[in-house]
Structure 1
């Protein structure tokens, strides 16, 4: 493992807190990896090693489940019997690495180099499951299928430990969610929402309501019934 100026920057990145999920990492093992390049049987679960220079590192039997190894340089590294389940290794360089016994079940491997028969360009089960979850959330909060960019962004956040509640709140506070609430007001009440109504229903979206439930709630309101009688 090469240690130079750029490696120090990578080391700072490694030690950054990566959501709540980063707490699974054994920081003594991270220190060992940085200082010596020898990290056999290390606990590096969910470690943020994006773009890390890990050339020739000894990672035999290391636990790298859920780790972020995007664009990492693992050329010549020894990963024999390493556990990379659910890891993100997209764009990583594994050329000349020892990969016998490596476990890549559920890993995201697109554009990784040097994996050979160990790699698979198809979306993995974990990614597919996360994407399906995010898509349902989009339908609930925004009333539509998720676009590819949003799907990938939020699926990655979900896999890195961000809660569904936080993602839901992010979507509910978006300009698009506000436009959806305004549209429902116009459909049911024939007017734009007042500020308090908009705040109320945005809060309901955050709490778990769907747009359909908001629509039904407005349709059951006294204002909607009065409007119906006036027609």
Structure 2
């Protein structure tokens, strides 16, 4: 009994020592710096800060806001239909032809040499980041765009994992080409169909450093529900995408 009593007293002393200072008061916490978030967008103003144990009301832990007078812009959700991605050659012949460039920040096809994020030629998708593979008519990469493939539905992918982004390289593209390697399956004879792989969402970092997610729906003109390669023209991309227009925001 006596040994148990002394043990209880010792434990009580240790707990009291950890929770109180020498004067019997509360031990001071480790303070952190918090930044004012005047516009309520979850981003703080680097020029207005306070040190505290917990975030004061109206303050946040980051200092990423470039304009603390303007709240976050809404996500942009769009469906893009029939982006034509022609190709010359193939079937054992040299491949050539201009890529169709697309700017995710504007939601438009572009002919700019620099202001593009992704580009299409037949089943190949490239990003404006990394290096060219040296194919004929392939545009030079001038930006810092990147990509990765996430598994799930559009509604499942609610945030960006910035550690997963890769860029085009000489030996492999950020969105790998070939059947079952990236975004599509090629069925071969007798159907010869290109079908988007279910549950594959393409996540992009744009040349402006913002983010978008893309779900490719169809490779055939008009996005027929049951494409027939003897009737429906191919190399027409239809896709849904969600674009995050705010700087330093990684959620959708």
Compute the TM-score of the two structures, normalised by the length of structure 1.
0.20
Greater fraction helix: 1
Instruction: Please tell me whether Structure 1 or Structure 2 has the larger radius of gyration of its CA atoms.
Output: 2
Q: Does 1 or 2 have the higher relative contact order (CA < 8 Å, sep 6+)? A: 2
> More strand by proportion, 1 or 2?
2
